[in-house]
Amino acid sequence: MEKQQLTQRLNQKFEELVCLSDGYVESSDAMHDIEKGLLSELLSIGLLLLRYIIAGKLKQCKSYEFDVDNQAACQSKGKKARRYLSLFGPLSIQRPSHWASDKGVVYKLDEHLQLPRGSYWSYNIQELVGESASENDFRESVHLFNKLLNLDLRWESSVRNTLNLGQYVEAYYEARPAKAEPEAVCFSASFDGKGVPKVRKPKARSGNPKARLGKGEKPGTKQMATVSVTSSFKPKQRSVKAIADALMGVENEPQKIKKKPKQEQRSKKNGWHENIHRRAFLADQDKAVDYGIQDIKNRISHTDSRFVVPIDAGIGLEDKVLGAVKKYGLEDAFDGIILDIIHVLEYVWAAATAVFGEQSKLRTPWVRDMLTDLLNSKTQKVIDDLVAIRDKTKLSKSKSQQLNKAITYFTNHQHKMDYLAFIKKGYPISSAMAESTCGHLVKERMEQSGMRWSSDSAQKVMDLRAVKLNGDMEDFVQFVVGSERKIRLRKMAA
């Protein structure tokens, strides 16, 4: 298409657009219908301009030359059509193909326009649908774009797009490690686990293999994903009383973690913690811990920096944290592991219920006293008090077992319960940020109604969701564009 032809067609289009607008002036159409009509015409104009640009690029790529000393015979294979879905709509690109024995088939125009590899969706469509798929189920992820842009995207294509983008996340974060934070002094790394519903491979059954599941049988099982959450923070001075007040709640009942607004969940700060970075790793706690501690190492820039690890009592988690600290040579900066006070308080409430009953007015002040002792690092006193109550009070077997659980828990983890030392330094004593991340990184997407995942798809969806929650989506897509371009250039230079 020549420039003169384009000008004529655009003039015609704009005349039609003005006529359409005049028609709307005289019509009784509602504003939302007018918007749809105008958008449809504007999209067709965008598609016309896009075709003109592609035609111009095609003229620049009429010849193909090898950048090698020993030039192989280059054979033209004519033009091959390629589908391309742009924001303005679908079009077919006729681009010249060339073949050489040492390179195979090469499309110079694909490189010139940096067209996507392995997908006919533009990178813009890939980004928008991929971002939506990290939030919503795959059917919902294409619904808005089909309606707004009058497209016909299928949910299966959204699945393929998500898996394609997800494969680049690992390399993206390896290529862009956390930057040093010279102004930050204190850092936090926290880890927690959340189950992901998995597709369970069908087992061989006797009789009819299509028989319904038996009572209590489930079509799937769960596999643990470990989240890693790292951040920097400024020490916050708080009194034991203030912390106890917050944990007990206004009504003096077990305090639930209040969900933060989604805008705050998905930002790089939450009021106390800044530069929050989140990842999730399926069935690989070692990798999650290693990733988090390495991220802290990259952030620390001076010798007086300190970092802490608030965690729950997950099996093997403490040893893995200590191993990673040693691996990355962070012993001098490491100020210790602290056991999540919220989990600890749950054991105290359970013990109080066993001793006094759920409705007793004595329960709340007793919990308050126990919590105050714990926050003052008097863990051994709490253990001794619980042992004395168990031994001197006539309790049922189940209630004694409840007390024993608390006694055992506090005894096994006493070395991680020096809360007063952490409070005096202004450090966090809760892993609430990791628990919150389990919710909005894993649970909100992976446990939507009816969801069952393979290992590969689960990891890639969580990876893409982490990119979204970390606020890195735009930069990530540019990384994907660059990565695919490098692959194409390597083929052309082979």
Which residues, at least 6 apart from 384, have a Cβ–Cβ distance to it below 8 Å?
Answer: none
Q: Is the pLDDT of residue 201 over 90?
A: no
Band (48; pLDDT cuts 50, 70, 90):
very high
Share of the chain above pLDDT 90, in %: 74
Q: Is the pLDDT of residue 157 over 50?
A: yes
Q: Using one digit for the tens of pLDDT, what is the confidence trace for 1-47?
A: 789 999 999 999 999 999 999 999 999 999 999 999 999 999 999 99
Which residues, at least 6 apart from 486, have a Cβ–Cβ distance to it below 8 Å?
Answer: none
Question: Is the model more confident about 104 or about 458?
Answer: 458
Mean pLDDT of the chain: 89
pLDDT in the model for residue 464: 98
Mean pLDDT across 74-85: 87
Q: Using one digit for the tens of pLDDT, what is the confidence trace for 427-467?
A: 999 999 999 999 999 999 999 988 899 999 999 999 999 99
Band (472; pLDDT cuts 50, 70, 90):
very high
pLDDT in the model for residue 62: 65
Single-letter code of the amino acid located at 393: T
Residue of 280, 287, 285, 221 lying closest to 454 (CA atoms): 221
Band (207; pLDDT cuts 50, 70, 90):
low
pLDDT in the model for residue 493: 67
Q: Using one digit for the tens of pLDDT, what is the confidence trace for 319-354?
A: 999 999 999 999 999 999 999 999 999 999 999 999
pLDDT in the model for residue 295: 98
pLDDT in the model for residue 96: 86
Q: Is the pLDDT of residue 422 over 90?
A: yes
pLDDT in the model for residue 254: 47
Single-letter code of the amino acid located at 392: K
Q: Which tokens belong to 124?
A: 């813009």
* DSSP H or E stretch at residue 269: none
Q: Is the pLDDT of residue 68 over 50?
A: no
Q: Is the pLDDT of residue 260 over 90?
A: no
Q: Give the phi and the psi of residue 458 in degrees, each rounded to 5.
A: -60, -45
pLDDT in the model for residue 77: 82
Helix ranges, 61-184 (H):
108-113, 123-133, 138-149, 155-166, 169-175
Q: Give CA–CA dist 463/281, Å, rounded.
A: 8
Q: Is the pLDDT of residue 216 over 50?
A: no
Residues paired with residue 290 on neighbouring β-strands, in sequence order: none
Full-model pTM = 0.86
Share of the chain above pLDDT 70, in %: 88
- Give the SS3 label for residue 233: strand
Q: Which tokens belong to 258?
A: 């209040």
Mean pLDDT across 374-398: 95
Mean pLDDT across 73-83: 83
